[in-house]
């Protein structure tokens, strides 16, 4: 059997470990041939690939980023729900002599995997995203690393914030789901964690910050990039909800508003891609390796149209259709737990 592997979407710590796990099982144990396309679908379109065998994946587990590269280049024209023409795609797939695909990616990639599978292209999904917002799996590799980095940032911001009696606002990633902000905020004891799923008013945020100050402490506010103030759309583009030119990310909009409202000196930090870079945590290395191994076994069993999901402590193959179509967002009871520390 010949498998093609590629990574699509933003990178996520653990992608190399997942490739290594898949190769060790698929090539060494099952006797498959594996090739990896460079920079996602670009490599597939342009014939840019490398052979993947044991020497090619040696020492990969602790390595951040991904040796194959990744991109957001689409595999075919057309959007989900639209009629798509796969004739060019199929011709290329046949020319490579592939028997199946292992697709490593987040929501967009697993949606593509599901479409390909529905159109008869043998495909298995390996879920990754630091955002942890994929349904049908408890955790995606990369998330634990991102949370660890964000929690460390909170710890560091807290000491400088305390020294200056400032309110420190930390923006973390999370466009549609606030898992990183929730976990990092809880780990770091943030006094406010703001998630896309739960809009809060500026008055409420300032009340929390003020009550912390009244107890003689300085506040640490962690905010997911997708958070919107209730009643005032703080947006990444154009004008903020108060009609002023956009100042930057949500933290850079929020910090001056908090300062103006409370009189407490406030600083914004945007963590950005720092939280996606560097070596994966041990948890992510293990999860990614096991995900790769499970995907290789699923290919042997010809369980196409499935995704390797973590459920409890088991990697289970679930239908791709269960993973796509709806984001896994933070439920109200988890937000209520975080809120216990607010203010
Ligand atoms: O989906 C993962 C993610 O890290 C989001 O949290 C974030 O909005 C986005 O990727 C950033 O993408 P890019 O690296 O293309 O700027």
- Grade residue 229 by pLDDT with cuts at 50, 70 and 90: confident
* 132 belongs to an annotated ligand binding site: no
Over residues 83-88, the mean pLDDT reads 87
Compute the half-sphere exposure of residue 169: CA atoms within 13 Å on the CB side of its CA.
25
Which residue has the CA at smallest separation from atom 11 of ligand 1?
10
**What separation in Å is there between the alpha carbon of 130 and the centre of ligand 1?**
9
> Is the minimum distance from the CB of 249 to ligand 1 under 6 angstroms?
no
Pick the CATH number of 144-277 from 3.10.310.30, 3.40.50.300, 3.30.450.20, 3.40.50.460: 3.40.50.460
- What are the extents of the domains in the chain? 2-141+280-323, 144-277
Q: Is the CB of 75 under 6 A from ligand 1?
A: no
pLDDT tens digit sequence for 263-283: 999 999 999 999 999 999 999
178 lines ligand 1 (CB under 6 A): no
Centre of ligand 1 from the C-alpha of residue 281, in Å = 19
Asked if the domains at 2-141+280-323 and 144-277 fall in one CATH topology, the answer is yes
Q: Does domain 2-141+280-323 have CATH number 2.40.50.140?
A: no
- Residue-wise pLDDT for 18-77, tens only, equals 999 999 999 999 999 999 999 999 999 999 999 999 999 999 999 999 999 999 999 998
> Cα–Cα distance between 301 and 323 in angstroms, integer?
20
Ligand 1 center from residue 42 Cα (angstroms): 19
Q: Is 106 annotated as a binding residue?
A: yes
- Whether 131 is a known active-site residue: answer yes
pLDDT tens readout for residues 313-336:
999 999 999 999 999 999 999 999
Q: Quick one: pLDDT band at residue 93, thresholds 50, 70, 90? A: very high
User: 131, 133, 144, 284: which one is catalytic?
Assistant: 131
What does pLDDT average to over the chain?
A: 94
């Amino acid at each position: 059997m010949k498998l093609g592997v590629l990574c699509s979407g933003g990178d996520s710590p653990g992608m190399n470990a997942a490739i290594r796990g898949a190769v060790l099982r698929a090539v060494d144990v099952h006797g498959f041939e594996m090739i990896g396309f460079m920079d996602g679908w670009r490599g597939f379109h342009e014939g840019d690939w490398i052979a993947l065998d044991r020497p090619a994946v040696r020492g990969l587990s602790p390595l951040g980023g991904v040796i194959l590269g990744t991109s957001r280049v689409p595999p075919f024209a057309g959007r989900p729900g639209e009629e798509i023409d796969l004739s060019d795609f199929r011709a290329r797939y046949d020319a490579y002599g592939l028997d199946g695909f292992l697709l490593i990616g987040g929501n967009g990639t697993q949606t593509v995997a599901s479409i390909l599978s529905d159109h008869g292209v043998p495909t298995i999904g390996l879920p990754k995203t630091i955002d942890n917002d994929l349904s049908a799996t408890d955790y995606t590799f990369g998330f634990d690393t991102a949370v660890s980095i964000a929690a460390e940032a909170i710890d560091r911001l807290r000491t400088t914030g305390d020294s200056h009696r400032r309110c420190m606002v930390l923006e973390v990633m999370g466009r549609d789901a606030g898992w990183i902000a929730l976990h990092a905020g809880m780990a770091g004891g943030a006094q406010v964690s703001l998630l896309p799923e739960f809009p809060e008013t500026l008055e409420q945020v300032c009340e929390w910050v003020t009550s912390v100050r009244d107890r003689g402490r300085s506040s640490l506010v962690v905010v997911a990039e997708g958070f919107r103030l209730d009643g005032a759309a703080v947006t990444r583009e154009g004008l903020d909800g108060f009609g002023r030119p956009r100042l930057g990310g949500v933290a850079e909009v929020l910090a001056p508003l908090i300062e103006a409202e409370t009189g407490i000196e406030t600083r914004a930090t945007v963590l950005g891609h720092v939280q996606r870079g560097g070596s994966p945590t041990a948890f992510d290395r293990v999860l990614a390796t096991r995900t790769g191994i499970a995907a290789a076994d699923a290919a042997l069993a010809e369980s196409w149209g499935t995704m390797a999901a973590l459920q409890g402590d088991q990697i289970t193959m679930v239908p791709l259709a269960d993973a796509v179509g709806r984001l896994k967002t933070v439920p109200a009871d988890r937000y209520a737990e975080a809120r216990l520390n607010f203010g």
